[in-house]
Structure 1
Amino acid sequence: MLIHPQFDPVALQLGPLAIHWYGLTYMAAFGFFMWLAGRQIRQPWHARHGWVRADIDDLLFYGVLGVVVGGRLGYCLFYKPEYYSEHLLEVLYVWKGGMSFHGGFLGVLVALALFARKKGWSYFTVTDLVAPCVPTGIVAVRLGNFINGELWGREASASLPWAMVFPQSGTDLLRHPSPLYQALGEGLLLFILMWLFARKPRPAGAVSAMFLLGYGVLRFGAEYFREPDNFLGLRALGWSQGQWLSVPMVVVGAALLVWVYRRRAD
């Protein structure tokens, strides 16, 4: 029987300063983005818009702001709206945890719109460059979730070789290591698909649409192995909150992809 390794969440202690693994995974996510975006701007179809390295630095600033603000607000609104409506000040308590990918994603969309407006570029000029660079960050952050022993999976069969007990869950049930599933699915697999798709020039908006569709589908599937939040449980149709938040991504992504290619055909 496998048991979650119970990693020390503090990677390095320097006197009163504690550096957490979770923070390091975010730093890794930003580092991967900088490296991959730097490669993307060398592609001829991106270079003709006038991208330079300094733009990537600015883009990262906008993106980090969108992730933090959107992720926190999304968690408060999507997962605990009643609680935070009565404890408004605690919305600012980011050190207590509570971030939503879908909220962070919406925050990034707004941040990218502001960046595009500043540069005088079309929205898809920015999002099509960013989209293939995002999944490696998802890999890093999901590994951080696993190190913290959080977002554990639903109960798994004892015959599953990698099923494990997550002591943080307060039970001795064997569970799916769902953060690893998400790191491999909406992280590594999505990165490979997106990077291959973005290697050739595509109609404006196609790469962005593919990310929406790909992430939405992979996250929806992963939620079947992830334990729903105990304060929410399963929602309508037996779907989790994460699945319901993924449905609009799938619908919008698919519709956008069809629209983009039909527009080109016309």
Structure 2
Amino acid sequence: MQFPHIDPVFLSIGPLQFRWYGLMYVLAFAATYFILSSEVRRKQYPLTKDDVADLVFYGAMGVVLGGRLGYILFYDLKVYLADPLQVFAVWKGGMSFHGGFLGVILSFVLFARRKTISFWALIDMAAQCAPIGLGLGRIGNFINGELYGRQTDVPWGMVFPGGGELPRHPSQLYEALLEGLVLFFIVRIMSRRSDVTGIPAWTFCAGYGLFRFIVELFRQPDAQIGFFFNFFSMGQLLSLPMFLVGSFMVFRLSRRAA
């Protein structure tokens, strides 16, 4: 299959260009606001609409700053040490989920202290929103024709621009399905079936770690890093602890509540 060429710019107004990838971020933050508002009402947390908007802003800053810093530290440190100004060249790409994950945790710690509300209450709500952002982000990656998979002969393999002449796994879509849609429903169900604080957050942690580890088996590793021990990608090394710790905590909290 040939990659379906989609113009990454969906709207141009004079010199201004609006890209699909940026739109995915906007849609993700909008969905996050509505889900958080719904959860605040359901749980009757002492947060106003303005507080929810502030929480989304904190989370957005955590995603962007943490994601950028995480990419620099985990994936391409030598390049940025050689040319520090490249840190600000965000239009060239370079975001890390694991960095964004840590960034959101830090931003929520700050917000929880400011509003004197439980940090875990915030994280449990955010865990229901994160898969939406992940799913939309991977769709944006697919539209851009980036982060494609390894070479394959499966019928749905695609020839990506910049990926050579041989078909590759559309691993962005695998991630959009597993880390986005499937993980959203898993976390949502767990949040409804259990009133134990921390269960939704640790479920997300374990689920993302597992799904990312699996999809990395089909995703092309970063060229500047390659494989560790001739098998593991950087994404797998960062995701495996999430799965192990998340699974242990879900088991522990469930046993404690039984």
Which interval holds the TM-score relative to the shorter structure?
over 0.9
Shift of 1:255: 2.7
Runs of 4+ in structure 1 deviating by more than 4 angstroms, as ranges, are: none
Aligned partners of 1:194, 1:93: CA distance in 2, in Å?
Answer: 35
Q: Which residue of 2 aligns with 1:121?
A: 117
Q: How many residue pairs end up in the alignment?
A: 258
Counterpart of 2:208, as a letter, is Y
Q: Provide structure 2 residue ranges, at least 5 long, that are not aligned to the other structure.
A: none
Aligned-pair identity (%) = 47
Pairing 1:210-229 to 2, within 5 Å after superposition: 210-229=203-222
Deviates more, 1:58-67 or 1:82-91: 82-91
TM-score, scaled to structure 2: 0.96
Aligned partners of 1:259, 1:87: CA distance in 2, in Å?
Answer: 46
Residue deviations 1:15-40 (CA, integer Å, cap 9, x gap): 01011111011111111111222222
Pairing 1:178-189 to 2, within 5 Å after superposition: 178-189=171-182
Shift of 1:264: 3.6
Pairing 1:128-147 to 2, within 5 Å after superposition: 128-147=124-143
Residue deviations 1:178-223 (CA, integer Å, cap 9, x gap): 0000000110000111111112342111111111001100110011
Shift of 1:262: 4.2
Q: Which residue of 2 aligns with 1:97?
A: 93
Aligned partners of 1:67, 1:176: CA distance in 2, in Å?
Answer: 27
Residue deviations 1:42-83 (CA, integer Å, cap 9, x gap): 22xx21x32332222011100110011000000000001112
Q: Which residue of 2 aligns with 1:31?
A: 30
Q: Provide structure 1 residue ranges, at least 5 long, that are not aligned to the other structure.
A: none
Pairing 1:8-27 to 2, within 5 Å after superposition: 8-27=7-26
Counterpart of 2:165, as a letter, is D
Residue deviations 1:212-239 (CA, integer Å, cap 9, x gap): 0011001100111100011111112601
SS in 1 for 2:17: strand
Residue deviations 1:134-180 (CA, integer Å, cap 9, x gap): 111111111000000000111111xx2211101222x1111110000
Aligned partners of 2:21, 2:226: CA distance in 1, in Å?
Answer: 25
Counterpart of 2:242, as a letter, is M
Q: Is residue 161 of structure 1 aligned with residue 155 of structure 2?
A: yes
